Amino acid sequence: MKARDLMRRDLTSVEPDTLIYEVVYLMEQSGLSTLPVVDEEGKLVGIITEHDLIHAALPEYFDMLHSISFLPNLNQIQKRLKEMAFKPVSEYMKEVTSVHLDDEDLHIADLLIRKRLKQIPVVDSEGHLVGVIRRIDILSRLIR
Partner 1 sequence: MILTITLNPTLDKFYWVDHLPLSLERAEEEILIRARKSSASAGGKGINVSIFLACMGVETVAMGFLAGHTGQIILRDLLEKGVTANFVWIEGENRTNVTIIEKGKEYHPVKIHEEGPRIPSHAQEIFLRKYRRMLKRTEYVVLAGAIPPGIPETVYEELTREAKGAGVKVVIHAGRRPLWEAVKVGPFFVKPDVREELMVGDMPVRTEEEIIAAGKRAVEYGCQACLISHHVTGDVLITPEGIWEYEAKVPLTAFKNLVGADDALVGGVLYRLTQGDQLTEAVRFGMAAAVASAEIEPKMCLSPAVIEHEMRTVEVQFKEGP
Q: Looking at residue 103, what DSSP letter applies?
A: -
Q: Applying CB under 8 A, does 24 fall inside the site for partner 1?
A: no
> What is d(CA 144, CA 93) in angstroms, rounded to the nearest whole number?
35
Reduced to 3 states, what is the DSSP secondary structure of residue 77?
helix
Q: Applying CB under 8 A, does 130 fall inside the site for partner 1?
A: yes
Closest to partner 1 by CB, 17 vs 110, is 17
Radius of gyration of the chain (CA): 17
Reduced to 3 states, what is the DSSP secondary structure of residue 131?
strand
Residue type, 14: V
> What is d(CA 16, CA 89) in angstroms, rounded to the nearest whole number?
5
Q: Applying CB under 8 A, does 12 fall inside the site for partner 1?
A: yes
Q: Which of residues 40-99 bind partner 1 (CB under 8 A)?
A: 40-42
Binder of partner 1 out of 29, 67, 69, 75 (CB under 8 A) = 29
Binder of partner 1 out of 2, 8, 80, 135 (CB under 8 A) = 8
Q: Applying CB under 8 A, does 131 fall inside the site for partner 1?
A: yes
> What is d(CA 110, CA 124) in angstroms, rounded to the nearest whole number?
20
Binder of partner 1 out of 11, 24, 77, 109 (CB under 8 A) = 11
Per CB under 8 A, residues contacting partner 1 are 8-12, 15, 26, 29-31, 38, 40-42, 128, 130-131
